[in-house]
Homo-oligomer: A and B are copies of this chain.
Amino acid sequence: MISQTSEYALRAVIHLAHYSGSARTTQQIADATRVPSGYLSKVLQALARAGLVRSQRGLGGGFTLARNEAEVTMLDVIRAVDQPLERINACPLGLVTHTELCPLHRKLDEAVEWVEASFGSTMIADLLGKGEVEPLCDASTEKDVTLRVTRNKSE
C-alpha cells in the first residue's frame, strides 16, 4: 500500500512524537523502529527537508519533531519522503481523446482519493496509542530489541 520508505518515515515520526521534546539520535530511532540506520538517516534527511523534523548537532543532539504531532497528518509524512498517492487527473497514456478518465483510471483514482482522505485526516497524535495496550515504538520496544539482539547473538 505504501512504500517501505513511507513506512519507515511514519515509524520515525511516531517515535519522535513519543519522546516529544527530547532529541533522539539516529541510532536510538533505528533501534526502536527496527530500521537500518543508513536507510533511516536518508529518511530523516527527507523529513528535515520537508520541515517535519529538526536536527541538533553536538552532545545531547539528535532529532526532534519540528511540528506538533497533533498538527501533522500521516499524509504529510508520506508525502515528505515519497510520491505514492498522487491523484490521477489526466489519462496516464496521454491519449488526446481521453478528455475524461476511462473506467480503469477512474477506479484507480477513486482508491487514491479514499486513501488520501483517510491518511490526510489522521494525525500523528492519533497513532500514539495513548491509553492502549500496544503502542508502536515506545520505550519498551527498545528494551525488547536489546533482549532479542542479545538472545540472537548467544544462539
Known A10-B104, A103-B126; contact A112-B1, beta-carbon cutoff 8 A: yes
A interface residues, tally (CB under 8 Å): 49
Which of B93, B105, B110, B141 interacts with A33 by CB under 8 Å?
A: B93
Specify how many copies of this chain sit in the oligomer. 2
Kindly state the separation between the CA atoms of A84 and B16 in the bound complex, as whole angstroms.
28
Q: How far is the CB of A75 from the nearest CB of chain B, in Å? A: 11
Chain B residues contacting A126 (CB-CB under 8 Å) are: 103
Residues A104 and B144 in contact, CB atoms below 8 Å apart: no
Residues A115 and B114 in contact, CB atoms below 8 Å apart: yes
Q: How far is the CB of A40 from the nearest CB of chain B, in Å? A: 13
Kindly state the separation between the CA atoms of A127 and B105 in the bound complex, as whole angstroms.
9
Residues A111 and B119 in contact, CB atoms below 8 Å apart: yes
Residues B107 and A127 in contact, CB atoms below 8 Å apart: yes
Q: How far is the CB of A24 from the nearest CB of chain B, in Å? A: 17
18 contacts between A and B (CB under 8 A): A11-B93, A11-B104, A34-B93, A34-B94, A93-B137, A93-B141, A96-B144, A97-B134, A102-B127, A102-B134, A102-B136, A103-B129, A103-B132, A103-B136, A104-B127, A105-B136, A107-B127, A114-B118
> Residues of A with Cβ closer than 8 Å to B?
1-2, 7, 10-11, 14, 33-34, 74, 84-85, 92-105, 107-108, 110-112, 114-115, 118-119, 122, 126-129, 132-137, 140-141, 144, 148
